[in-house]
Amino acid sequence: MKWLLALVMMGIGVGAFADVKDGTRITGTYSDITYNAEGDDLLGTEIRIVLGSGWRYQGTIQIAEGGMSDLDCFNIQEDKGILTFDVSLKNYEGKFVGKVWEGMLIGKLTFKNGGVMNLKLPRKKSYWE
């Protein structure tokens, strides 16, 4: 029992469980990026969610439609399992609303121009790993 108390006091014990909401782990890489040999290009979306300082979620996104977009970094708001964040990528500015469910990041990215991208990204290694 003393070792558990020591771990909690050092912050190790708390960090191990801080990412779980209602039994669902939020952090991870969610990606459907694939290489298209026929067109010799990349297609898909990749979102990575990490736990930042102050127990706040932060993330990155890349979108591939033939070639890769730049990497966009953002803060993520989480309320009762619903995740929201703003995307400021050139040609892809908008807002994401969704959740992690059964090992997938599921949601909708609504662009400022009115377009919508429905996402269902499985948790897996990054395309770049």
Task: State residue 90's pLDDT score.
Answer: 87
* Mean pLDDT per 10-residue section of the chain, whose length is 129 residues: 44 48 84 92 96 93 90 95 94 95 96 96 95
Task: State residue 22's pLDDT score.
Answer: 63
> Hey, where are the domains in the chain?
22-29+48-61+71-122
Task: State residue 20's pLDDT score.
Answer: 61
Task: State residue 67's pLDDT score.
Answer: 84
Residue 112 burial (CB count, 10 A): 12
The vertex-117 CA angle with 48 and 21, nearest 5°, equals 40
Task: State residue 27's pLDDT score.
Answer: 95
Dihedral, CA of residue 32, residue 61, residue 78 and residue 50, to nearest 10:
90
